[in-house]
Each structure stands twice: as C-alpha cells, then as structure tokens.
Amino acid sequence: MEPDPEGEPENGDFKVTPWEVEGEVDYGRLVEKFGTQAITPELLQKVKRMAGEVHPMLKLGYFFSHRDFDWVLDKKEKGENFYLYTGRGPSGMVHMGHVAPWIFTKYLQDKFDSKLLFQLTDDEKFLYGPDRTRDEIRKYTYENVLDIIAIGFDPKKTRIIVDTKHISHLYPLATEIAKKITFSTTKAVFGFTNSTNIGMIGFPPVQAAPCFLPSIIEGKNTPVLIPAAIDQDPYWRMTRDVADRMGYYKPAQIHSKFLPGLGMTGKMSSSKPETAIFTTDEPDTVDKKVASAFTGGQPTVALQRQLGANALGCPVFWYLRYFFDTEKQSDERMLKCKSGNLLCGECKSDLAKGARPFIAEFKKRREKAKDVVAMFMYDEKPLEP
Ligand code: TYM
C-alpha cells in the first residue's frame, strides 16, 4: 500500500520524498533534480536590507534552496504582503528537526509582518501508516498544536488548520485542484502505485489547498511563501503546476536541509527516538542522548590530537551550529576540531548545555499554550483580512 515515490536511490544513492529520506543527501544535486534555485549572496543581501538581519539558518546555509523567494520579496517591497504557510503531519511527538523550520518561520513572520497558516495533516498521517489509529493521531494532533503555539507565533496573525476539523474550508479548493491533476501525474510526482490506498492518492490537493486559501481570505490574489524542509517539495511542484490554470499566484518556497539525527546516519526522525531530541524530553534523557551521540571523532584521544576530527560529518557539530553556537563560535569550533585541539566530549558537553535549557524553556511554553489553543484555531477566530 505504501507509495513507491520518485527518486529511488540509484547505486546506493539517496532518495527524498515527503514520506521517506534515505541515504546521504547531496543537496547540490537535489537542487538540480527538483529544479529549484540556490540561495545566492545577492538574495541574502536583499533579505538583510529588508529584514535588518539574516537569520543564522539562512546565513549558514541550512535554508539552501528556494522557488520565487526573490519574487515574494519584490512583491513585499512594492507593498503586497505575503502569507506564510507551513505544517506538520501529526504522527508522533515533535523533535528538534521539526522545530527548526518553525523557528525560521517565526523569524519571517516577525520581520515581514506576515500572516501564517499552519496545517496539521492528520488525514495524511492516518492514511499513510497502516497500523495508525484515529485515536492515536488525535492525541498527537493536540500535542503538536502545543508545540506550534510554544514557538511563539503571533496569535493575531496565525491560524492552525487541522484537516479533519476544518475540511470545509479546504474542500472547495481541494476539489478544484484535484480536478486538474491526473493519476498519471501523481504517480510521477509522488510515486503512487496500484497498491497505494486511494486515500493517499486523493490527499495531495488537501495539502495544496492552503496555498490558495489566503487569496480567498483576503479577497484578492495573495502571494504565499512556504518554509519547510526539501522533502515537502513534491507537493509544491504539483501545486505550482495548477496555480496558473486556477488564476492564483504560484506558491513560493524556501527549503531547508534535514537536521541530522544523533546517530551515525540519517535525518532526525521520530522512528529512531534514541537519536532524536524531543521537545518533551526530560533533562536527563537529553543528557543521555547527547552523551551517546555519534561524532566525527577518532577512536582514541591520542589519534584525535594527532589527526584531528571530521566536523562536517558530525551531527553534534551541526546541531550546535544551527541552534546554539554563534557563527564565530561555530567557525572556531570547526578549526579546533579539524586540528585536533578539541575533543568530542567537549562538544557534547556544549550541546547538552545548550539543549537542556532550550527544552526546559520550551516545555514551560507548551504548558502555557494549553490555555490559548482555541485562539489559534482556524474556525474559532477567522483571520481578519
Ligand atoms: P512532517 O510532520 O513530516 O514535518 C514537519 C516539518 O518538519 C520538516 N522536517 C524536518 N526538517 C529538518 N530536519 C528533519 N529531520 C525534519 N523532519 C521533518 C518537514 O519538512 C516539515 O517542514 N505533510 C507534512 C505536513 C504539512 C506541511 C505543509 C509541511 C502540511 N502542509 C506545509 C510543510 C509545509 C508533514 O507530514 O510534515
């Protein structure tokens, strides 16, 4: 029943789809394969000029690729505001990999004064997992809503859409989109086969619908920018294809890489909980996970001092770089690591020092979020145009 999506790994290569990421991802090749645009120094300058500061995740290349981000900024300069749209498939608890694009989305909301639609695809996750029950998904939907609110999005400008709860707002658009997409296209884009369940085959227009919802809310064609990791790109390729024919702007995207898990290979994933840091982890659990993380280090201290270690292949290094180090600290860390002047234990200790208070603070905000859930729900309080 599982889709057999495009981009099968060729000769031990890599594969990136909305549901699976396998192998060592070559992001440069992905830009070519998916036909996206690389983030250029000129684009970074433009962001700096307009936003005042470039978020470290953008400056340091965690967000590495886009489609029409420059166009969205041009529109903004000319006085046309853009919406942000992002989402989560509530199949488990939230980990730091999920939180990364949301932190960046908050930066965009703050700097560009954008309204945000946040979709929870509880339908997708129920349909995709053969053993998942509706009850399980309902529980994770609520838990994930708390994480989304804890990020600190502006309650006046942010609405959460839970697919099964708010479907009446999406369905008219989804049917318009679905009517323009053939089974053969979805097979090519998502790799669906004859054994994929028909719920999954019909689902993509539901994830596409929020790309056009802002135009309906605002009563005029409205630009939309989607910050997400690159795995979601197939949805946007499909949506961009129908946008013109429906008379809407094509949704723009800004794509991130994957936050690696703390194990030897692979992205951070709920299916490998021992290598992922969850927003609900206890401090001791965070410590334990960090202590047993894989690093780019040598087998012995003596060898490390002599040969240096491999920062670029080390998840602890990347974790520190994107979340807790300043650029200067991170550059220095890399030099010291490569020259054998830094031991893995020191980096692990720095990571634990960063992650423990981050998670502790995040948990407090999750608790507070419980009181304001209704305020964020699409139905309870519609966004004002
Ligand atoms: P989901 O729940 O798989 O992922 C939620 C968001 O986290 C990103 N992501 C990661 N980013 C960095 N490192 C990782 N290890 C990692 N794992 C996941 C995903 O790219 C995503 O941005 N179908 C979607 C839900 C959705 C959505 C959207 C996502 C609906 N509308 C619009 C983005 C934008 C899903 O299941 O995401």
The pLDDT of residue 2: 39
> Residue 3 C-alpha to ligand 1 middle, in angstroms?
18
Q: Which of 88, 126, 161 to mutate to test the pocket of ligand 1 (most atoms within 8 A of CB)?
A: 88
Which two structure tokens, joined as six digits, stand for 257? Answer: 């890489």
The pLDDT of residue 6: 44
Q: At 287, which amino acid appears?
A: D
Instruction: Give every CB contact of residue 151 below 8 A, 6+ residues apart in sequence.
Output: 99, 102, 103, 105, 106
> Residue 87 C-alpha to ligand 1 middle, in angstroms?
6
> Residue 160 C-alpha to ligand 1 middle, in angstroms?
15
Regarding the beta carbon of 119 and ligand 1, being less than 6 Å apart is answered yes
> Residue 111 C-alpha to ligand 1 middle, in angstroms?
22
The pLDDT of residue 139: 98
Q: By alpha-carbon position, which residue is closest to atom 23 of ligand 1?
A: 89
Measured between alpha carbons, how far is 109 from 158 in angstroms, rounded to an integer? 9
Regarding the beta carbon of 120 and ligand 1, being less than 6 Å apart is answered no
Q: What's the whole-number average pLDDT of the chain?
A: 93
pTM of the model: 0.94
The pLDDT of residue 7: 45
Percent of the chain scoring above 70 in pLDDT:
97
Parallel/antiparallel/unpaired status of strands 252-256 and 63-67: antiparallel
Distances, alpha carbon 83 to alpha carbons 209, 213, 229, in Å? 14, 10, 18
The pLDDT of residue 1: 32
The pLDDT of residue 304: 94
Regarding the beta carbon of 257 and ligand 1, being less than 6 Å apart is answered no
pLDDT tens readout for residues 140-191: 999 999 999 999 999 999 999 999 999 999 999 999 999 999 999 999 999 9
Question: 20 falls in which pLDDT band (50, 70, 90)?
Answer: confident
Measured between alpha carbons, how far is 115 from 137 in angstroms, rounded to an integer? 27
Instruction: Give every CB contact of residue 306 below 8 A, 6+ residues apart in sequence.
Output: 340
Percent of the chain scoring above 90 in pLDDT:
86
Q: Say how many Å lie between the first and final Cα of the chain, rounded.
A: 42
Q: By alpha-carbon position, which residue is closest to atom 31 of ligand 1?
A: 87
Residue 253 β-bridge partners:
67, 226
Contact of 117 with 83, CB cutoff 8 Å? yes
Question: 3 falls in which pLDDT band (50, 70, 90)?
Answer: very low
pLDDT tens readout for residues 264-288: 878 888 888 999 999 999 999 999 9
The pLDDT of residue 232: 95
Q: Which of 106, 160, 232 to mutate to test the pocket of ligand 1 (most atoms within 8 A of CB)?
A: 232
Question: 96 falls in which pLDDT band (50, 70, 90)?
Answer: very high
